[in-house]
Amino acid sequence: MERASIFLPQAGRHITVPDISEARFAIGDVVRHKLFDFRGVVFDIDPVFANSEEWYESIPADIRPPRDQPFYHLLAENDESSYVAYVSQQNLTADAESGPVDHPSLDEMFDGFRNGRYRLRRGLSH
């Protein structure tokens, strides 16, 4: 049985779509990176790696994650700045206990922080 393949413009290539992908986190969850000191809010999820080859190859080989796992788009923050991050599932852990995230784009996508997570604004869900 052949797996489905789709072309993703942001990746500049076709990616194979898995039959089943088990994301540990959901849109609106607050997460923390296991290796680097930043945290963020999930705003999109790719079932497998769907960024560019150049981006993937820029990760040092000794810490480069496998492609066949969910990757998360985050509104991220550290002590110095706010930015957008793209992170593999293996490098994330839940971080709801630390409270809300301070990112300038949160209000565009989410409608407040309640019960340890953000609620997606009406009209933005799939």
CATH number for position 89: 2.30.30.390
Residue 75 pLDDT level (bands cut at 50, 70, 90): very high
- Look at residue 25 and tell me if it is in a domain: yes
Q: Provide the domain limits for residue 115.
A: 21-120
3-state secondary structure the chain: CCCCEEEECCCCEEEECCCCCCCCCCCCEEEEECCCCCEEEEEEEECCCCCCHHHHHCCCCCCCCCCCCCEEEEEEECCCCEEEEEEEHHHEEECHHHCCCCCCCHHHHEEEEECCEEEECCCCCC
- Look at residue 67 and tell me if it is in a domain: yes
- Look at residue 13 and tell me if it is in a domain: no
Average pLDDT value over all residues in the chain: 87
What pTM was estimated for this model as a whole? 0.83
Dist CA 44 CA 121 (whole Å) = 13
Q: Do the beta carbons of residue 23 and residue 46 sit within 8 Å?
A: no
Q: Domain total for the chain? A: 1
- Look at residue 47 and tell me if it is in a domain: yes
- Look at residue 103 and tell me if it is in a domain: yes
Backbone angles phi and psi of 118, in degrees to 5: -100, 145
Half-sphere exposure of 117 (CA within 13 A, CB side): 12
Percent of the chain residues past pLDDT 70, beyond the cut: 81
- Look at residue 65 and tell me if it is in a domain: yes
- Look at residue 63 and tell me if it is in a domain: yes
- Look at residue 48 and tell me if it is in a domain: yes
The pLDDT of residue 4: 64
